[in-house]
Structure 1
């Protein structure tokens, strides 16, 4: 007997979840469960926030492993896991003080991953602008930048047009672990954080609230474009 697919949730609704501090592998498994739920129409579009335990993640770009400057054993002795992922992009670092966003979004009606990436970039640019930082795209580079200083990384994947993975914004992040990698394979730039740029600690909850608001606004706009 054929199974009837559940009616999809209202496409412009956005459920925002905050998972708090998570271990990367556990968070990835939870992401995959949400992707399956979104594909089957059991949930609507969802934006997840989390803050990972220390980890270097290697994306699907060929040669990403060459940009890990430490032996994995040395990284482990510093409390930093090394994990291969299936997102786009190169190698990056996640850790405390960083807001990681995982949008689980059904693009089936639009089927334009490039437009979705531009949307993610604009969410970050608008949020940073609200908080006093004139961030921008950088020609030929991924992520969001202040000049040649990278403040946010972006790496996504999709499965049957449902997105997962997402972005990582350095808010109050300790930048020292970035010295153990060539972040995102970039050799003509550095990394920075909101804390470093603004000179004071930033309210993480305020940042998440602004990100969620911008994401919801731009998602609605893209649906009507």
Structure 2
């Protein structure tokens, strides 16, 4: 019997608020959990890739047990929202010009390893960078880097092997937003984008199709549009 590749539904949410992104993730997580409780995988694909851009928002992860309320208020005064999320990682920024991908996957359909999963996300973005002629690399710090500048942040949550949150690839993001924080809590390193690295405008729309192609190759899956 031939091996059947997992099928992943691609859902383009457009430009939305971070709160709307959280709600969308919860809906697709619930779909997985309902199937698990009924011991059923029949019907439409349960795995999904949620793609979006966010309105300006700063978020912190579960590693930040306490974040000063005065710092939260300072960031809000810049015109951004602020959220405390249940993902891994420290503080980061999401906004227009950034391709955000939330894979809502059951790792039982792939490989039951969070370490493997994060590595596959990194390798997906590295292959995407190569398609644009950029040498993307990993480092001891999670994410994808171009020398000492992060081009893609990764922060995930995984419960019962169901993944949520994901990655944020800077395409033509206004990088000035990052100057108000220490991105991901990493001192002495910067942030870059496809546009800044290539010295030309690279939009989210331009990056989306090659991203989906590299994701399908790296995860050995079929994408349903």
Short-chain TM bin: 0.7 to 0.9
> How far apart, CA to CA, are the structure 2 residues paired with 1:11 and 1:93?
34
- How is 1:152-163 mapped onto 2 (pairs within 5 angstroms)? 152-163=152-163
* TM-score computed with the length of structure 2 as normaliser: 0.87
Note closer, same or farther for the CA distance 1:73–1:21 as it changes in structure 2 (3 Å cut).
same
User: 1:108 aligns to what SS in structure 2?
Assistant: helix
> How far apart, CA to CA, are the structure 1 residues paired with 2:99 and 2:16?
12
Contact 2:7 2:45 in 1 (8 A): no
> How far apart, CA to CA, are the structure 2 residues paired with 1:167 and 1:191?
14
> How far apart, CA to CA, are the structure 2 residues paired with 1:64 and 1:52?
24
> How far apart, CA to CA, are the structure 2 residues paired with 1:72 and 1:65?
7
Is the counterpart of residue 122 in structure 1 residue 123 in structure 2?
yes
> How far apart, CA to CA, are the structure 2 residues paired with 1:192 and 1:83?
23
> How far apart, CA to CA, are the structure 2 residues paired with 1:169 and 1:193?
8
Is the counterpart of residue 16 in structure 1 residue 17 in structure 2?
no
2:174 alignment partner in structure 1: 174
| Structure 1 unmatched ranges of 5 or more | 1-9
2:20 alignment partner in structure 1: 26
> How far apart, CA to CA, are the structure 2 residues paired with 1:81 and 1:116?
29
Contact 1:121 1:144 in 2 (8 A): yes
| Structure 2 unmatched ranges of 5 or more | 36-40
Report the CA distance between 1:65 and its aligned residue. Answer: 2.6
The aligned length equals: 209
1:46 alignment partner in structure 2: 48
Note closer, same or farther for the CA distance 1:64–1:217 as it changes in structure 2 (3 Å cut).
farther
- How is 1:54-93 mapped onto 2 (pairs within 5 angstroms)? 54-62=56-64, 65=67, 71-93=71-93
Contact 2:97 2:203 in 1 (8 A): no
Report the CA distance between 1:11 and its aligned residue. Answer: 5.8
Report the CA distance between 1:218 and its aligned residue. Answer: 1.6
1:35 to 13, 18, 29: 29
CA offsets, 1:59-104, max 9 Å, x none? 01145736x9x73333222211111000011110000000000001
1:5 alignment partner in structure 2: none
Report the CA distance between 1:51 and its aligned residue. Answer: 0.3
RMSD of aligned C-alpha atoms? 1.8
Contact 2:50 2:102 in 1 (8 A): yes
